[in-house]
Amino acid sequence: MTDQDNNSSNDSHGNDNDNATRPLAGIKVIEVAQNIAGPYAGEILSSLGADVVKIERPGTGDDARGWGPPFWRGTATTFQAMNHGKKSVALDLKDPVHVQWLRDQVAGADVFIQNMRPGLLEELQLGPEVLRALNPRLVYCSLWAFGHKGPMRLAPGYEPMVQAFSGIFSINGAEHGPSARVGMQVLDLGTGMWAALGCIAALLRRASTGQGCVVDSSLFETALGWLQVMMAGFQATGRQPERHRSGNPNVVVFQALPTQDGEIVVAAANDRLFAKLARAAGHDEWTRDARFATNALRVQHKALLIPTLEAVFRTRSTQQWLDALEPLGVPCAPIQDFAQVLAQPQTEAIGIFQTIPDEALRIVGLPLSFDGERPQVRHRAPGVGEHNHMLGAGAPG
């Protein structure tokens, strides 16, 4: 079987499940994006049924193809996760013939997604003014590092830079340790999600107005959005939030506690749950202690309460604490590694892990269901320019 035969589902979409899980079927998306944020926006739309054509540079393609190890069959798993279900056309955007071909495709498209170097597509006459003049129904979506306006509009940026710049580093990490980044691409993925949501909202509005629009999002805006609770507190008090490692600055007890063989997160988020926690710990007197009577008092006396509680929790295993807390209705969970997460019956029950057809690689599917059914992975991530042949005799190279 040839590689093209092996990927025949890319052409036919033959692996689609019930159309109820493909609400964007019939929507054509052009994606001129690389790395994570832009491709994730396209991936969300693709998983919802849109036909996404990914434009890549000839030869090497999206930089994320090389973001490994780990690799799966020669391509980084990062790329596999962000680009399954799409088609790939390789274009040299320095070639006027290729640029004109892309404009011709945009004329019949519904959504255009881009996160290239700020200003690049405007230089190539592929900016929103040009493409929306060509196709007024087009939803033109740009993903930026720092925003579509302001003195840093044209500044490049990657996830750790924007986590640092936005203040996320300053609130993450242990109380007296160095600041730290969030360990996954919370801003790239979050910006991709906001961009996809914006595109869907714009398509909904277009249904009544007949007009597309320009959608903008950025990593910096996403960061500030995630920080909105803490930013509200800071603007009310002027005090920088303290770091609490696994804890919460406003709720006690609401954090990880050490056990004999691991750690367990306990979320006693109100006075009733704290009373149940005290009972499980064998210290009913805590509920009668004036220093711990309310959440506000527990926050005030956290430095006294938490070390005492930690000493108690070290006397039993994680499972013993789960057995003691769960029957009382105290929310709690063990801190698990990836292998333990995959072994959980709940993980299997929700069916979110899906196997890419023809690849045997399991990935996380869309965290969304329609009438109880989750959209299924349609086909693997494409090779660079694999689908040039599908777009007719006028397709480049």
For residue 132, the domain's CATH number is 3.40.50.10540
164 vs 213: CA distance, rounded Å: 31
185 within domain boundaries: yes
76 vs 67: CA distance, rounded Å: 6
Q: Does residue 69 have a cis bond before it (omega within 30 degrees)?
A: yes
77 within domain boundaries: yes
The model's pTM = 0.84
65 within domain boundaries: yes
Tell me which range, 178-182, 253-257, 348-352, is most confidently predicted by mean pLDDT.
253-257
352 vs 149: CA distance, rounded Å: 38
317 within domain boundaries: yes
What average pLDDT does this structure show over 56-69? Answer: 93
Q: Give ∠ CA 285-289-292 in degrees, rounded to 5.
A: 110
Clarify whether residues 36 and 148 are in a common domain: yes
Clarify whether residues 133 and 9 are in a common domain: yes
Clarify whether residues 64 and 119 are in a common domain: yes
What is the model's pLDDT at position 397? 53
Q: Is the pLDDT score of 322 beyond 80?
A: yes
Q: What's the gap between Cα 124 and its chain centre?
A: 30
What is the model's pLDDT at position 42? 98
Q: Is the pLDDT score of 311 beyond 60?
A: yes
What average pLDDT does this structure show over 71-98? Answer: 93
256 vs 264: CA distance, rounded Å: 5
Q: How confident is the model at residue 232 (pLDDT cuts 50, 70, 90)?
A: confident
122 vs 131: CA distance, rounded Å: 10
Clarify whether residues 194 and 98 are in a common domain: yes
What average pLDDT does this structure show over 46-55? Answer: 96
The rounded percent of the chain whose pLDDT value lies above 90 is 64
The CATH number covering residue 270 comes to 3.30.1540.10
Question: Could you give the number of structural domains in the chain?
Answer: 2
341 within domain boundaries: no
Clarify whether residues 222 and 267 are in a common domain: no
Q: What is the 3-state secondary structure (H, E, C) of 267-307?
A: ECCCHHHHHHHHHHCCCHHHHHCCCCCCHHHHHHCHHHHHH
208 vs 313: CA distance, rounded Å: 59
Clarify whether residues 284 and 375 are in a common domain: no
Taking Cα atoms as reference points, which of 376, 390, 357, 384 lies closest to residue 6?
357
Last residue of a domain, one of 335, 358, 382: 335
Computed over every residue of the chain, the mean pLDDT equals 88
92-143 pLDDT tens trace:
999 999 999 999 999 999 999 999 999 999 999 999 999 999 999 999 999 9
Last residue of a domain, one of 310, 335, 360: 335
Q: What's the DSSP call for residue 240? A: P
What is the model's pLDDT at position 5? 34
Question: Residues 377, 361: contact at Cβ < 8 Å?
Answer: no
What is the model's pLDDT at position 15? 45
Ranges 129-143, 216-230, 269-283, 354-368: which has the least confidence: 354-368
The rounded percent of the chain whose pLDDT value lies above 70 is 93
Clarify whether residues 71 and 114 are in a common domain: yes
233 within domain boundaries: no
209-225 per-residue burial string, b: 16 or more CB within 10 A, e: under 16 = eeebbbbbbbbbbbbee
310 within domain boundaries: yes
| CA separation, residue 386 to residues 3, 198, 369, 379 (Å) | 10, 29, 30, 13
What is the model's pLDDT at position 235? 87
Clarify whether residues 295 and 367 are in a common domain: no
Last residue of a domain, one of 311, 335, 359: 335
Phi, psi angle pair for 265, to nearest 5°? -90, 130
Which class for 123: exposed (0-12), middle (13-18), buried (19 or more C-beta within 10 A)? exposed
246 within domain boundaries: no
Clarify whether residues 209 and 260 are in a common domain: no
Clarify whether residues 182 and 300 are in a common domain: no
Clarify whether residues 39 and 10 are in a common domain: yes
| Tokens encoding 126 | 């592929």
Residue 221 structural domain: 3-226+349-391
Clarify whether residues 156 and 282 are in a common domain: no
